[in-house]
Structure 1
Amino acid sequence: MLAPSQAHILVIDDTPEAIRPLLLALRGRHWRVSVATDARQGQQRAQLLAPDLILLDVRMPGMDGFALCRLLQASPRTRDIPVLFLTSAGAADERLEGLSQGGVDYIMKTCEPAELLARVQIHLQLARRRAAAVDDTPAPPLSPDEVVLRAAMRLIGQQLAELPPLEAIAARVGTHDKKLSAIFRRHLGMTVFAWVREERLRRGRELLADPLLSMQEIAGSVGFRSACNFTTAFRERMGVTPSQYRKGLQDGAAGKGTPAG
């Protein structure tokens, strides 16, 4: 990580001419500025150049900024690069989506250049402090398919309660449903929905450790329509009902807490 005055900033925007005053302001600070004009090119340049900060548009043809942000978060080489959305997409749900997918800031293209410079400066400084505090051992590289796989798994984990259709999941990680299905089969040996079922039951087992949660609450939070459906699926997979599994957890905890005689 370079000092903020020497930083390299990657701008990913399909209409860079529309933000020319902002680009000029960035270059006026003597920062190195690279530009990519679509998400695919931006992903490639982020992997190749490992910039200190990324300014990312949302509404782009093909893959949008949210999908690209998920892929950047899934790759060891780019996951620690701060992503600031710089966009005209200002709806509340869009702003929340950007921040929930890993963006550290959300800035409107109508902002004054001075505001953009101030926000960029702050995030460069924060990133520099984080980098100084962590182990800088390089992570092993991932193939493009492995990056998509990690991004899809993370997305599914965040939306287990109301999972989008397969086509929507694939689009949100920058691919299509057939390719995503092939990636899951190749790397995990199962279909997307087989993995979803396993993840729902794994998350369900974690939630059963909380005695305050009802079966209906657990079922709903992991994407089952009813406690009955959850119980049936759980028993088929685990050989016991969720209630029996929970009792086993509680009995085990009680045994560990019993003083030796």
Structure 2
Amino acid sequence: MDHLSQLMQHFSVKAGVFYTGTLCGISRFDDPAISTGHLHLLKRGGLTIIDAHNTHHQFDKPILVFIPRPSAHSLHPYGLPASKLPATLPGEAISTELVCATVDYGAGTDNLFTTALPSLMAVSLDQASPLSAIVEQLFSEAFSQSAGKKLIIDRLCEILLILLIRQSIEQKTLDEGMLAGLSHPKLAKVLELIHNEPEKTYSMTQLASEAAMSRTVFMASFKSIVGTTPGDYQMRWRVELAQSLLKKGKNLAYVAEAVGYSNRSGFARAFRKVTGVSPTSWLAEQ
């Protein structure tokens, strides 16, 4: 399996569309209980998104906005000036039409995937965009009354997310984190090794050899690009994999062995170091 497919499965990325239609007033997402990211797709009209830092992001063309982590923000419709109106509708106001979805991750939003992304990503959905064909189909389904449309638009949103992340990796637009590492020609091999074989423990010398670097250059490069040390990265990857397994009902002994720990006490220490709580306490909170 390729590394991006593996990541999307590992983090159980799921989209759930909760609104399709016209934005008539201000819509706020500031409930502290919210534990998901958000995806907003503007079909037509004008939209201002005000983020948690009170930064105003204004859009007047079709756009995909991905907010990967829980973050307070609000949506505001705004009228377009006459120069922006379609020729077919001279002088007529354009309503703001959009599709909104939550983005959920199986083991929670504080993970290697979400922390590798900026707080807000905005991608144009013009005809030249590689996402345009999927978006056109999504809007067609979303604003129809066809049977099964909810399942279809949820899956199409997930496809858009995959394409967005693929594009970010291929275009090397991410500066730091796991996804930036996967776009690096040498570090990608190391990350894929850690991801594919979490039960194995590799020395720094082995990992440096895999990256075709000296030990010193490898450790410095990994920390600079991925944002943490190789050892800490492997520990966090193991713990996040363990969280997914625990939520699937696997017992502690099985999970500990599956992620590379020979005993439960060593696993519990690593789990607490990453999450701040024991595996059983974490599971009880889910």
What range is the shorter-chain TM-score in? 0.3 to 0.5
- Normalised by the length of structure 2, the TM-score is 0.35
Higher relative contact order (CA 8 A, sep 6+): 2
Which one has a larger percent strand, Structure 1 or Structure 2?
Answer: 2
Which one has a larger percent helix, Structure 1 or Structure 2?
Answer: 1
